[in-house]
Structure 1
């Protein structure tokens, strides 16, 4: 699952790195475009990921035919959500109003990139239902293989369309969006063939059928607060990019490198969290609450241990990492300054991510959403704006100049407050998870 997540994340890394070497304008357009797209896509993906605990509990209980019915309804939900998401991305003006004056050439590339991603969205969301299905039944290699193959296709299409090779026009960020659309539609075609031909899936009786409100309601009842949590998480950081744009192209580029690296590191705890949540849900479906508790404890231990190893690697190689993203020294200076906040942020990000998925395994989604609204939006985004760009702008300038040298004060303030908010969120979610364990299995030992 981790390899599959990294492979999927490689799309964003390729886009950022390849546009970064095209021009600072293309990189700035990519940063703002991705902020909008990720906000929409991740929020909608969260709704679809309700299929994971639902199908996993069916799998643990041996209700295999119910898995096929739930998946078919999730496909209908994905198509409906893609229409909603496409409408939000077609008109980026309201999103960009947060960023102040944007150069016409940057705005043009933003609009073109997002219009290309509108074409990609239906395929991307349907592919997430395939991902959720395979996660729920402990078969992640299918999506991993498709994503790995997609990296090569994505790199080729980026090379052709971003730089204008083989006689094609150089489209910059717009070319990256076009290549994403092509790769996602190829991924859906391949995954449909696998589901149709592989005998493993036959007991599930996979079919789309007609929309059924009872099944859609079950997905929405869990999926809407899950999507809300995803949306809170992603907007806490994508809105950061829109605010940082006020400090210029180089600040935006440096912030985008930091955000992309944070997202890449996040794939490890995300994968372990999803895997732990799916296996925990299978144990819950089988009414084995002690196994569910042990699985959760193991997942948390692995996520935090992996986070510590990731922090060590990034700290040791941050100069090489930034050089791989950009050849502009001004963008690199901003990125290197911001990266000093990566250890604190990533450790608690791993804690809150894994704990969130364990709570969702128990079909608990509203409480995590409310905790994240209060912390990530309240402390992180609102507090970061207040101290970085609002009435108290510059209040932290002196200490931040020492902690994150080279980083603009506004961007540094946002990342500091984001780190504090993610720490509070992780600790609160962990306390709620322990409460759930005590209620479900009062004789068990709560996780460390």
Structure 2
């Protein structure tokens, strides 16, 4: 049962409840990654061209999908605050408006998927066969986008009312179904045509819609959700405006983060295939480790928002401190595993000696990178519990894109090349100057972002103390 935000819990009680909410969210996040892993593994055994087409098309789709997903995720703090305020029927109305918004965003934002040449113009000389496969992949995945975003509305509701296990179960089942459909459609089993990358996108579209319908079935057949009187209704400006007010900067933050790492990969490729491979090892590992603070952040934000909704700001602060404590403990464990298992991790990613050397040099910066990333992630989500998203968005845009990406380019490939050599030698010994500078400036920008977000959070807390 959801905790009573008016009563609260002890510090240890908060830790236990955050963990109870976070682990299903973490499983769901890992399940989401599994789709891309399955596509890569299976297409890697089908055709190099299809694998390249999938990689390009997926990067385009994820950029669009993650940005729009951030807008829909505004439902989490909104519904969680309403839960704390005991305005249960309002939760049902906001959820219905979230479905309308998801449909609209998928149709408007998804239109960019139908014009792949705009994106591929930044990718240099891509073979015509690959371009054709990318176009087909994106046309098919366009069909999946409405279902993907509407399922995010289901996910947001379940998370906000502290029932994340239902979504986790759907995500786990979807992995099995995705693997089966991939096998059937990519390779053409049982007389079906071998579709390659088009088969991968087709399976994603089918599974996305089945996940959404499964989510709907659970919501309308589980007695717990009847109290919210879930209804679609007609689009209402008041509700849509409130979702967008919080959702646009949240979606912007999501987009900034994914774009920064996308462009880092493009810049790292300037130093050659081996450097690009080493960069990809660190980037992929950082993404996997990021799932833990992300899950803790979402769980902490939902619980804190519920406390804010009940006007128990002292309890909201206690939850925030507990969530930050857990995330730092988790970061410490993750960093220790990476440092102790570094040779095995590199071996799992690559058998190429040159890529392994560069990856080993870059992984030295992982402790600083993961600590900074964990801290800024957690505090961003804690601020969203108070419906504060614009300040994090501005800070992340200026620091991650300005200081991090632009600074990394300047010191790694521009007029400032070589200026960071002492830091290169300390934090990424033996790594090429370009990719090293990118990761150093990325880590520095995340660290500064975390500091200013922390300062802003305490500003918010000082304002709320008068209500304690």
The TM-score normalised by the length of structure 1 is: 0.90
Tell me what 2:238 maps to: 214
What is the CA distance between 1:175 and its match in structure 2?
Answer: 3.7
| Pair 1:360-2:381 in alignment | no
User: 8 Å contact 2:60–2:119 — kept in the other structure?
Assistant: yes
Aligned partners of 1:4, 1:202: CA distance in 2, in Å? 24
1:152 paired residue number: 176
SS in 2 for 1:139: coil
Q: Distance in 2 between matches of 1:368 and 1:388?
A: 27
Task: Give yes or no for contact 1:50–1:222 (8 Å, CA) kept in 2.
Answer: yes
Equivalent residue number for residue 80 of structure 1: 104
Map Cα deviations across residues 15-37 of structure 1 (whole Å, 9 max, x no partner). Answer: 34444566665555444333322
Distance 1:112 1:340 in 2: 40
Flag the 1:403–1:352 CA change in 2: closer, same or farther, 3 A.
Answer: closer
The correspondence of residues 347-386 of structure 1 with structure 2, limited to 5 A, is 347-386=371-410
Within 1, Cα distance between the matches of 2:370 and 2:382? 18
The match for 1:435 is 459
Is contact 2:313–2:467 with CA below 8 Å preserved after alignment? no
Higher mean Cα deviation, 229-238 or 8-17? 8-17
2:9 match: none
Contact 2:335 2:366 in 1 (8 A): yes
Aligned to 2:37: 13
Q: In structure 1, what is the equivalent of residue 12 of structure 2?
A: none
Counterpart-to-counterpart distance in 2, 1:22 and 1:244? 27
CA change 1:426–1:55 in 2 (3 A) is same
| Map of 1:284 onto structure 2 | 308
**Residue of structure 1 in register with 2:151 after alignment:** 127
Q: Is the 8 A contact 1:55 1:136 kept in 2?
A: yes
Among 265, 280, 283, the alignment partner of 1:259 is: 283
Q: Confirm or deny that 1:422 pairs with 2:446.
A: yes
CA distance in 1, matches of 2:53, 2:403: 28
1:184/1:305 Cα in 2 relative to 1: closer, same or farther (>3 Å)?
same
Q: In the superposition, relative to structure 1, how do residues 25 and 410 fare at CA in structure 2: closer, same or farther (>3 Å)?
A: farther
Select the residue among 206, 209, 213 that pairs with 1:185: 209
Deviates more, 1:285-294 or 1:178-187: 178-187
**Is 2:220 aligned against 1:196?**
yes
* 1:312 and 2:336 are equivalent in the alignment: yes
Where in structure 2 are the equivalents of 1:25-424 lying within 5 Å?
28-163=52-187, 165-166=189-190, 171-247=195-271, 251-325=275-349, 332=356, 334-393=358-417, 396=420, 400=424, 404=428, 409-424=433-448
Please give the alpha-carbon distance, in whole angstroms, between the structure 2 residues aligned to 1:12 and 1:258: 17
The structure-2 alpha-carbon separation of the partners of 1:327 and 1:263, relative to structure 1 and needing over 3 Å to count, comes to same
1:60 shift after superposition = 0.6
TM-score normalised per structure 2: 0.86
The CA distance in 2 between the partners of 1:18 and 1:332, in whole Å, is 24
Structure 1 residues 411 and 25: alpha-carbon distance in aligned structure 2, compared to 1, 3 A threshold: farther
Name which of structure 1's ranges 86-95 and 139-148 shifts more when overlaid on structure 2.
86-95
SS of the equivalent of 1:98 reads coil
Higher alpha-carbon deviation: 145-154 or 338-347: 338-347
Gaps of 5+ in 2: 1-24
1:300-325 CA deviation, whole Å, 9 max, x = no partner?
00011111111222333344444444
Alpha-carbon offset, residue 400 of structure 1: 4.2
**Structure-2 separation of matches of 1:112 and 1:336:** 38
18-27 or 66-75, larger mean C-alpha shift: 18-27
Q: Over residues 83-119 of structure 1, what are the superposed CA-to-partner deviations in whole Å (9 max), with x where a residue is unaligned?
A: 1221122223333333333344544443343333212
Q: Tell me whether 324-333 or 237-246 shows the greater mean CA deviation.
A: 324-333
> What secondary structure is seen at the aligned counterpart in 2 of 1:441?
helix
- Structure 1 unaligned regions, length at least 5: none
Q: Is the 8 A contact 1:17 1:326 kept in 2?
A: no
Q: What is the CA–CA distance in structure 2 between the aligned matches of 1:419 and 1:127, rounded to whole Å?
A: 33
Contact 1:24 1:253 in 2 (8 A): no
- Whether the 8 Å contact between 2:324 and 2:378 is mirrored in structure 1 is yes
Displacement after TM superposition at 1:240 (Å):
2.0
Q: 1:177 to 1:66 in 2, by over 3 A?
A: same
Query: Cα gap change, 1:264/1:108 in structure 2, threshold over 3 Å: closer, same or farther?
Result: farther
Is contact 2:427-2:440 (8 Å) kept?
A: no
Q: What do residues 427-448 of structure 1 show as CA deviations (whole Å, max 9, x unaligned)?
A: 111111111111111598xxxx
> Could you report, residue by residue, the CA deviation over 1:263-305 in whole angstroms, capped at 9, with x for unpaired residues?
2211111111111111111001111111101000000000111
TM-aligned CA deviation for residue 223 of structure 1: 0.9
